[in-house]
């Protein structure tokens, strides 16, 4: 794609009614009229060559609507979780688009483009201070990927924040052109405490994302401009490595941020790496 192509693509996105399109997609994807739902699922499988045999159940007819299929579970054993206590694993299927240090409070979005850690984390300076100088990993999910998000490391939830925003595409063309993309988009910021220190997990919404959901709360959302503090269950939320954390109801991005000295990336873990949930990505100190 020429340089003009991505700029035109992003320019057109500014004109789109992001949330209206998301609402319409949500209505279609949750329609339980089989005459619509079944052909839609089968067309999606053909278009994206989805590996239905990995799903649980593996039969398209078992799903009442497209959203049920899109957020499908995987059969037991399809994604083994690295059992080593010191292993940080991929939270999703997808592709690693960026990985590296948080330098001067900035994360790399794409070549020549950076964005602020504090802004990404809902302007929470305390949370950001504990992660300055640390390591981040950006994981992109394509529409055909498995769309449940899992814990990369065991931890206890300390805070959950929903940030209203736009819903720009998060594909390569948009990340290369649009400044502060992940800070503009709707997102959920989760702060965990692990045995080795704090960990932020950020779920970023995207164009046509019907919604995002959390395992302990269900759907999350809201309008306005200010971050919304999400209530935590009375007994707290403790999750083990590999436990389901949440779901995207279309393709998007997960960003992990960990503090300095906590993480050493494994050899070969670099942008472009194809990810499978549960695969070891790094060694965690103190685990």
Average pLDDT over residues 17-30: 76
Q: What is the pLDDT of residue 249?
A: 85
Q: What is the pLDDT of residue 251?
A: 66
Q: What is the pLDDT of residue 225?
A: 79
For the chain, the first-to-last Cα distance in angstroms comes to 44
**Residue of 102, 91, 106, 147 whose CA lies nearest to 281:** 91
Pick from 84-93, 164-173, 253-262: least confident: 164-173
Q: What is the pLDDT of residue 91?
A: 98
Q: What is the pLDDT of residue 66?
A: 92
Pick from 13-27, 104-118, 143-157, 256-270: least confident: 13-27
Contact 225, 160 (CB under 8 A): no
- What is the overall mean pLDDT for the chain? 91
**Residue of 215, 157, 160, 207 whose CA lies nearest to 17:** 207
The larger pLDDT score, comparing residue 111 to residue 79, is at 79
The model's pTM is 0.92
Average pLDDT over residues 146-152: 97
Residue 231 is given by DSSP the state: P
Q: How far apart are CA 261 and CA 247, in angstroms?
A: 30
Q: Would you kindly state where each structural domain of the chain is located, as residue ranges?
A: 4-74, 87-284
Q: Report, as residue numbers or ranges, the catalytic residues.
A: 93, 150, 252
Query: 120, exposed or middle or buried, with CB in 10 Å at 0-12, 13-18, 19+?
Result: buried
Residue 22 is given by DSSP the state: H
Confidence of residue 12 (pLDDT cuts 50, 70, 90): confident
213: tokens are: 């959901």
Confidence of residue 209 (pLDDT cuts 50, 70, 90): low
194: tokens are: 């692990």
Average pLDDT over residues 160-178: 90
Confidence of residue 3 (pLDDT cuts 50, 70, 90): low
Confidence of residue 55 (pLDDT cuts 50, 70, 90): very high
Q: How many residues does the chain have?
A: 287
* Portion of the chain with pLDDT greater than 90, in percent: 72
How many Cα neighbours within 13 Å face the side chain of 252? 33
The larger pLDDT score, comparing residue 210 to residue 76, is at 76
Q: What is the pLDDT of residue 169?
A: 86
Q: What angle do CA 77, 145, 140 make, to 5 degrees?
A: 115
Give 194-206 pLDDT, tens digit per residue: 999 999 999 999 8
Q: What is the pLDDT of residue 2?
A: 45
CA 25 vs. chain centroid, Å, equals 19
Q: How far apart are CA 211 and CA 24, in angstroms?
A: 11
Residue 111 is given by DSSP the state: T
Contact 40, 50 (CB under 8 A): no
**Angstrom distances, CA of residue 141 to CA of 86, 99, 122, 272, 275:** 25, 15, 22, 12, 9
Q: What is the pLDDT of residue 173?
A: 87
């Amino acid at each position: 794609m020429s340089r003009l192509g991505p700029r035109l693509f992003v320019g057109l996105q500014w004109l789109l009614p992001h949330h209206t399109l998301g609402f319409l997609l949500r209505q279609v994807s949750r329609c339980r009229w089989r005459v619509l739902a079944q052909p839609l699922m089968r067309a999606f499988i053909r278009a994206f060559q989805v590996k239905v045999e990995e799903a649980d159940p593996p039969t398209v007819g078992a799903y009442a609507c497209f959203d049920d299929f899109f957020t499908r579970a995987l059969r037991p054993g399809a994604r083994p979780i690295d059992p080593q206590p010191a292993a940080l694993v991929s939270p999703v299927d997808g592709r690693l688009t960026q990985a590296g240090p948080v330098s001067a409070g900035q994360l790399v979005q794409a070549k020549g483009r950076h964005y602020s850690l504090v802004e990404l984390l809902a302007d929470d300076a305390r949370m950001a201070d504990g992660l300055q100088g640390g390591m981040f990993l950006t994981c992109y999910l394509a529409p055909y990927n498995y769309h449940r998000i899992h814990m990369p490391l065991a931890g206890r939830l300390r805070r959950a924040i929903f940030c209203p925003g736009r819903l720009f595409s998060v594909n390569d063309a948009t990340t290369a052109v649009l400044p502060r993309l992940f800070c503009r988009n709707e997102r959920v910021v989760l702060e965990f405490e692990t045995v080795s220190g704090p960990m932020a997990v950020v779920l970023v919404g995207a164009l046509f994302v019907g919604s995002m959901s959390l395992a302990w709360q269900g759907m999350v959302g809201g309008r306005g401009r200010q971050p919304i503090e999400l209530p935590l269950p009375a007994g707290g939320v403790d999750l083990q490595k590999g436990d389901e954390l949440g779901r995207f109801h279309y393709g998007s991005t997960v960003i992990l941020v960990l503090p300095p000295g906590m993480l050493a990336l494994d050899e070969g873990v670099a942008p472009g790496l194809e990810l499978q949930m549960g695969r070891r990505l790094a060694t965690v100190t103190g685990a």
